[in-house]
Amino acid sequence: MTQDNRSGRPQGRPPEGDARLSRVEAQLRGPFLLFFVSAVVWLLVASVLGVITALQQGSLAAGPFRDCEVFSYGRLVAVQRNLFVYGWGFNAFFALNLWLLSQLSRFELRNGWLATLGGAAWNLALTYGVAQIFAGHQNGFGLLEFPREVGPVLAVAFLLAGFWPIVAFARRPTGHTFASQWFVVGASFAFPLTYLLAQLLVLWQPASGVVQAIAHSWFVSNLLLLWIGASALAAVYYFLPKVLGRTISGYYLAPVAFWSFFFFAGWTGPAALLGSPVPLWIQSVGVVAGAMLIVPVIITAINFHGTLSAESGWSRAWNDTTLRFVSFGAVAFTLFGLLNAVFGFRGYNATVRFTSFAAGQEQLLAYAFATMVLFGAAYFVLPRLTGALWPSAKLVHVHFWATALGVIGSVVALLVGGWQAGKQLADASVSLPQVAKAGAAWQYVLTVSAVLLLVGAVAFALNAFGMILKSSAPASEGRHD
């Protein structure tokens, strides 16, 4: 390695490939494709359930499964959310995080069977948990609905499947590190700790009083921010400079973004308990942490949007499939951070507290940001690992437009509809039937958006599976058109 390469690395641009790149990717191919195929299958199932739940929520009396107890609305919503997060999100980030850290650390995965075993265990446990929810054996805590015996299996499976990025980071050949590595390593440490503690305090040795609710809100915020959010941020920090061929704008601020994000995001959970019988100081901790989270949001906005604004970056991003999705996600994360800071304050939060607004914020983070970034990453990584091109350019366009319109429609309906409902609920002269009638139009938007998201997922799956089926040996240099 030359001194020029060494001095260039800390500027935020990932190193170019070398002769060992194909060996690194060849070792990853089996586990990556297992994680990726599992993720896409779960995404399809979750998208179908999303359409069904949207139809049922719009008209419970005319729901397609109104006389079937197994497919009641409450069970379908729980299954859909868990499959999207634990099925699609986790499997996709298992694959992407491993690929990112292997690329940046030049790590050859010599024990891939352990990662494969972890992925198989994860998906089998997930299938069992879904079956138990359909059977009516579920807990009343969001994203912890699975029976408690599923938790230890998922924890062990995560250690086998999701801890490899830390091994890759520890075995990196040089002392140089990148923002992508920091965020992935932080996420890989954060999730198992928070998940095991939540399992203990909520399900196995339930805490007394309000401590159980505090532990649950803390877990959900850590899951969404420190695992899903941090992993997606790592991908953006990698793909923007990699595809654009330039360094991250203001990269010297990235360490501040990393440390402030992980410090404040872990304390935002109590903000979801505003107005509940929880000590006021605990609620205030969540409010302050949510407000301070604006610091890493502003820094990442400087890093991402500054990079895209230089030298016709936005124009190049629009003409590159990977950057089109990744840029969409970067904008969504900035918007999420601003909304999270503003509506964490008690005055605004009181208006939207019992509405769909919180679901809109989650959709903005988990789908508009993380999922769009995952799609963009797939368009870059899959051709490299399969040695094939995407079978249909038309399906790529269908995927982007259906997904973009679907996610925009759902986010707007949940956020604006939630704000409108909150204002009406605060008005004593407005009755509940009037509130429900006013929200009916937004429910139609949610239904159409769910259909669009399903269309986008199907287009992506057809293209991806078509590429995998005709794949050859991994290529030393991939394409992402």
pLDDT given for residue 476 in this prediction: 41
pLDDT at 176: 84
- Confidence class for position 93, pLDDT limits 50, 70, 90: very high
Q: Could you read off the pLDDT of 21-43 as tens digits, one per residue? A: 456 777 788 899 999 999 999 99
Tens of pLDDT along 42-68?
A: 999 999 999 999 988 866 444 556 667
DSSP string over 414-466: HHHHHHHHHHHHT-TTS-HHHHHHHHHHHHHHHHHHHHHHHHHHHHHHHHHHH
Domain range summary for the chain, segments of one domain joined by +: 321-481
Q: Is the pLDDT of residue 15 over 80?
A: no
What average pLDDT does the segment 221-237 reach?
97
Is residue 293 scored above 60 in pLDDT?
Answer: yes
Over the stretch 107-147, which tens digit does the pLDDT of each residue have? 888 888 999 999 999 999 999 999 999 999 998 899 999 99
Distances (CA, A) of 424 to 273, 275, 434: 22, 18, 9
Tokens encoding 209: 């009083």
Closest CA to 304 of 319, 326, 321: 326
| CB contact at 8 A, 102 and 24 | yes
Q: Check residue 139 and give left, alpha or beta (phi > 0: left; psi -120 to 50: alpha).
A: beta
137: how many CB neighbours lie within 10 A of its CB? 12
Q: Using the predicted structure, report yes or no on whether residue 415 has a pLDDT greater than 90.
A: yes
pLDDT digits 0-9 by tens, 197-206: 999 999 999 9
pTM: 0.92
Q: Any residues with CB less than 8 A from the CB of 112 and at least 6 apart, and which? A: 27, 28, 30, 31
pLDDT at 365 over 90: yes
Contact of 444 with 463, CB cutoff 8 Å = no
Give the range among 152-156, 169-173, 324-328 with minimum mean pLDDT.
169-173
Q: Determine contact, residues 7/15, Cβ cutoff 8 Å.
A: no
Q: In the chain, pLDDT over 90 holds for what percent of residues?
A: 73
Residues whose CB falls within 8 Å of the CB of residue 5, separated by 6 or more in sequence, listed in order: 15
